[in-house]
Chains A and B, each alone.
Chain A
Amino acid sequence: MSKIVTLEYPLKELKAPEEYRGLPYIDPHKCIGCGACRNACPSDAVMKIDDIKNGIRKIILDVGRCIRCGRCEEVCPTGAIKLTTIFEAASKSRENHIEIIELKLLRCSRCGRYSEFTERQVMFALDILPREALEVEALDKRIWLCRDCRRETALSEAVDKEWKWYYGKLVKSTWE
């Protein structure tokens, strides 16, 4: 009964155990901007905003909304978002709770417009695709295009081939 149980926190630093799920942090070098964390987050702590005009995607993490469930960590394909063991979130400024990652959107090499995915997403896809299983040339040609251009090139190539009669109808109904 005589033992002192009061901790000297905050005068002495207190460390949470390694199992603890604390404030999340996005590693800007690893983040590819896919937005998986945004889809998984129950409390909308992560936002994904595309600026198609200037070709910038913002991933905005608001720790103030976070409920530390760690779903983002589970779904992140590159391990960029991690929950640290930091638990002290008090701050004089609300801005300290917000982390913004800016990523470049892919600029289509054919039409010059920005597409709805980032450069890093494409790089990541190239990384994980087994090269031997694919037609590398066709892939390299098409992967730097935006979605519309991909569709168009794929169709026109197909039309060039002898399946003209079939795709002709499809192209008509798609583009009219």
Chain B
Amino acid sequence: MREDVEVSQVKSIIERFKDKILDVKKVQDNQWILITDRDSLRPIVTYIMQSEKFKEAHIATMVGTDERPLRGKMSVTFWINTLTDSMNVFIGVRTYLEEDNLEYDSVSKDVPGANWYEREIYDMLGVVPRGHPDLRRLILPDDWPDNVYPLRKDFKYTESPVSYPNYSFTYTEERSSCAIVPLGPYHVSLDEPAHFKLYVRGEEIVGCDYKGFYSHRGVEKIAESRLTYEQVNFIAERICGICGYTHSTAYCQAIERISKIEVPERAEYIRTLLLEIERIHSHLLWLGVASHLVGFESGFMDAWRIRERIMWLAERLTGNRKTYGMNVIGGVRRDLLDYRKDLVTKTVKELKKEYKEFVDRLTSIKSFIRRCEGIGVLKYDKARAYGVLGPTGRGSGRNIDVRRDHSYAAYKDVDFKVPVYKEGDVLSRALTRIDEVFESIWIIEQVLDSIPGGDVIAEYTEIPQYEEGLGYTEAPRGENVHYVMTGEKNMVYRFRVRAPTYANLQAVPEMLKGYTVADAPLIIASIDPCYSCTERVTIIDVRDCKTMTLDEYEFNMLSVKASKRWF
């Protein structure tokens, strides 16, 4: 194999698997692709994920691409983010599959974090991971017909075939001895629908099954079939209602990397500023929700009052409360004018004071601490196996942060700490977020001090065809990865978005086991899942067929009442 590879991670893999690796490609500065055959995919991915050589490793994203129009095959690529002391790289392990044999050995048995990714390509592309422990549909609606795969290139985005519903939840082995509590599709505490089935024995949760993606909008397919490069950006930021800016930044970075556009420094600083503003408002939102769920209503009001200032600031800076519409490929659209700079300085100063008061109040309330402490514990081993990201991962002792590990925008120029807690319970996730807001304020202060002058947007002429690249940002909830493969006629060939909740939600069943139904809203909320809420819960006891329905208020009150015992 190639001898000139200097990167230690890639080198060690090549040395170990020698002739199993058919080709090595460096797609971007820190992104490598190893091409292998279908049988070696599983051992290589498992080796990278479990190797002691890497400090941390998790699946950054997994992409299945229908490359039949290009080379008559489909490709499956596991992108793994590997961290060592000296170098951090994204390694893509890729195999090509012929159309008449779309099977490969599943890695989910060894790497639980790969579960959803494999179910997704099974659902969307018809690629079959052999020996997958739980091969059900993941994304498409229940009444989607079999053998119709929307991400294949011969499927038109305007089609919408319908058949009969055929989805089934898996039951744990002790089905007869436990009751089932369906949670959702309209969910308890946060945004957007998701359906949890809790298997309970009395109050204790013994198992959990999840069905989500009720609000899957096919952004990837639209991006591939209808939109131009510039337009995808504006759809990409609408993927999330809270951290939209991080999505548009990730997409822009992917394109900028592929076409070697040099973004002006001033634009990089403005992006950093807005990303941190977004993190602050997202974390404040979460702290409010957490306060609400432990029954500390004035804390909820207070957090959201402080947050509103940030929203107003974002409105003045970008033209939208939600920092939408600010990014374009090559830079940002609005400059940080002097009066806006003063505005930021003033707001951040006030925020710092008020936030500190709020945090002091929150952390000195015994019921909040007791309610969160030791609840929903996710140990480091599990966290790493599931590839849990962001504050959820850092709350379980994973020392990861894309801002530091693969620094982008202006993060290489600013100084900040990455808070890590080892306990892995709800409290440590809360504390991680609390600390991060202070760090964000500190980053904003540095950005304001050292922002350079110049243009805010770079012009570009051409985006090369059929090149690939990853764009990544540290969203408020964790690592957010966009994979882009460019195509012809000013359009993207393949666009794949992996938001952090995709990885975090897979670990929720682990967190719920052993705790009570009243803890469930708090535990689910503790990963700050990105989906929303018109909440209704039905509790069904299978033994005597009793059904009772709790509305949002009653269900949340269960959680609130649970904290009353410490008042």
Asked whether, in the complex, the Cβ of A19 is within 8 Å of the Cβ of B325, the reply is no
**Cα-based distance from A5 to B312 in the complex (angstroms):** 14
Chain B residues with a Cβ closer than 8 Å to the other chain, count: 19
In the complex, what residue of chain B is closest to A41 when comparing beta carbons? B231
Which residues of chain B are within 8 angstroms of A40 by Cβ–Cβ distance?
230-231
Q: Is the CB of B320 within 8 A of A5?
A: no
Q: Min CB distance, A142 to chain B, in Å?
A: 31
What are the residues of chain A within 8 A of B316 when measuring CB–CB? 17, 19
- Whether, in the assembled complex, B319 has its beta carbon less than 8 Å from a beta carbon of chain A, the answer is yes
- B412 touches A (CB below 8 Å): no
Instruction: Flag A68-89 by CB within 8 Å of B: 1 or 0 each.
Output: 1111000000000000000000
Check if B235 is an interface residue, CB within 8 A of chain A.
Answer: yes
The distance in angstroms between the C-alpha atoms of A70 and B318, with both chains bound, is 11
| Chain B CB within 8 A of A36 CB | no
The answer to whether B305 touches A21, judged by C-beta atoms less than 8 angstroms apart, is no
- Residue A168, interface by CB 8 Å: no
A123 at the interface (CB under 8 A from B): no
The minimal Cβ–Cβ distance linking B358 to chain A, given in whole angstroms, is 11
Give every chain A residue within 8 A of B320 (Cβ-Cβ): 20-21, 68
| Assembly CA distance A5 to B324 (angstroms) | 25
Knowing A5-B305, A21-B320 are in contact, say whether A42-B235 is a contact too (CB < 8 A): yes
A-B pairs, 10 with minimum CB distance: A42-B231, A21-B319, A42-B234, A69-B325, A69-B234, A19-B319, A19-B316, A5-B305, A17-B316, A42-B235
Complex Cα distance, B301 from A26, in Å, reads 40
Chain B residue nearest in CB terms to A7: B308
Say what secondary structure dominates the interface of chain A: loop
Are B319 and A67 in contact, with the CB atoms below 8 A? no
Contact in complex: A67, B234 (CB < 8 Å): yes
Residue of A nearest to B337 (CB): A19
Taking beta carbons and an 8 Å cutoff, which residues of B are in contact with A? Answer: 227, 230-235, 238, 305, 308, 315-320, 324-325, 334
Do B325 and A70 touch (CB < 8 A)? yes
In the complex, what residues of B have CB within 8 A of residue A109's CB?
none
Q: Say whether chain B's binding surface is mostly helix, strand, loop, or mixed.
A: helix
Nearest CB to that of A16 among chain B residues? B315
Find the A residue at minimum CB distance from B233. A42
Task: Count residues of A near B (Cβ-Cβ below 8 Å).
Answer: 15
5 A-B residue pairs with Cβ-Cβ distance under 8 Å, sorted by A, are A17-B316, A20-B320, A21-B319, A41-B231, A67-B325
In contact, A71 and B234 (Cβ under 8 angstroms): yes
Annotate A10-25 by CB proximity to B: 1 below 8 A, 0 otherwise: 0000001101110000
Q: Which residues of B contact A71 (CB under 8 A)?
A: 230-231, 234
A67 touches B238 (CB 8 A): yes
Nearest chain-A residue to B235 (Cβ)? Answer: A42
Q: A43 at the A/B interface (Cβ < 8 Å)?
A: yes
Cβ proximity bits A125-159 to B, threshold 8 Å, 1 near / 0 not:
00000000000000000000000000000000000
Q: A19 and B235: CB pair below 8 A? A: no
Query: CA of A39 to CA of B360 in the docked complex: distance in angstroms?
Result: 52
Q: How far is the CA of A40 from the CA of B325 in the complex (A)?
A: 13
8 further contact pairs, Cβ within 8 A, besides A19-B318, A42-B234, A68-B325: A5-B308, A17-B316, A40-B230, A40-B231, A42-B233, A43-B235, A68-B320, A71-B230
CA distance A16 to B334 in the complex (A): 18
Cβ proximity bits A21-48 to B, threshold 8 Å, 1 near / 0 not: 1000000000000000000111100000
Residue of A17, A40, A71 with most chain B CB atoms under a 10 A cut-off: A71
Complex contact B319–A20 (CB within 8 A): yes
With a cutoff of 8 Å between Cβ atoms, the chain B residues found around residue A5 in the complex are 305, 308
Question: What residue in chain A is nearest B317 (Cβ atoms)?
Answer: A19
Nearest-Cβ distance from residue B402 to partner chain A, whole angstroms: 26
- With CB as the reference atom, state the residue of chain A lying closest to B326: A69
Contact: B325 with A21, CB < 8 Å?
yes
B532 to chain A, nearest CB (A): 18
Chain A residues with CB below 8 A from B234, complex form = 42-43, 67, 69, 71
CB <8 Å contact, B315 and A17: yes
